[in-house]
Structure 1
Amino acid sequence: MEDGTVLARLMEQARGDGASVGTLRAIAKEAGGLGARRALARLGLEDAGAAKDMAELRELLGAWRDAKRSAFKAAWGSFGRMIAALVLVGLAVKLGFPGWLK
């Protein structure tokens, strides 16, 4: 059946029946499914390979987050080592280490 045909039939039945609870639930369910299909179609995800594409995108996004986290961790590690080296050089100069080399 066409996407909107079932929904139109249910709406007509609700009007004729005085809108029973079961009919309204069926309308809501069908409308939700129709809206979801339309949204997926607008995003270009209505084809059979969309689930695989989404899984690959999630994997790629996870890899990007891991790489970003590793880059920040490496940057902070390098920054910490540079600060430690500067402190050691400062202590060596303050304690007269260059004089010990002569």
Structure 2
Amino acid sequence: MSAGAGAVLAQLLAQGAERGADMATLRGIAEEAGELGATRALTRLGLADDGAGADVAELRELLKAWRDAKRSAWKALVAWVARMACALLLLGLAVKLGALKLGVGEWVK
């Protein structure tokens, strides 16, 4: 509940109490109204049936698996790029030190 909605509810409860309504009755009405609103919202989302809790838990597991797969893919990509950079560095050192003659000068010409 937002701070503004909480303030409005508190003000309405105070007004009801000033006009002679019992505070317990007003709180009961507010609680029932909140329950009814929550039930309507869940019904509109299709989450009002008995299997909704299991469905939400399954969706959370699926989302966690997706996030784990994404994280693993990024790690694999970074590892691949690092290996390629190291391989190119070693190849460059081998050519520079003369341990490997590739004829790069001939390729450039």
Give the TM-score category using the shorter length: 0.7 to 0.9
Higher RCO (C-alpha under 8 Å, 6+ residues apart):
1
- Give the C-alpha shift of residue 28 in structure 1: 1.3
- The answer to whether residue 104 in structure 2 is matched with residue 97 in structure 1 is no
AA in 2 matched with 1:59: E
Tell me which residue corresponds to 2:10: none
- Give the C-alpha shift of residue 18 in structure 1: 2.3
Taking the aligned partners of 2:20 and 2:31, their CA distance within structure 1 comes to: 18
Counting aligned pairs with the same residue, the percent is 64
Task: From 20, 25, 28, give the equivalent of 2:27.
Answer: 25
How many residue pairs get matched? 85
Aligned to 1:35, the other structure's residue is in SS state helix
Taking the aligned partners of 1:55 and 1:46, their CA distance within structure 2 comes to: 14
Task: From 69, 94, 104, give the equivalent of 1:67.
Answer: 69
- Give the C-alpha shift of residue 21 in structure 1: 1.2
Tell me which residue corresponds to 1:58: 60
Taking the aligned partners of 1:55 and 1:95, their CA distance within structure 2 comes to: 60
Q: With structure 1 as the length reference, what TM-score do the two structures score?
A: 0.77
Flag structure 2 segments of 5+ consecutive residues without an equivalent. Answer: 1-15, 102-109
Taking the aligned partners of 2:74 and 2:80, their CA distance within structure 1 comes to: 10
Tell me which residue corresponds to 1:8: none
Q: What is the root-mean-square deviation in Å for CA atoms of aligned residues?
A: 1.7
Tell me which residue corresponds to 2:79: 77
Return the structure number with greater helix share. Answer: 1
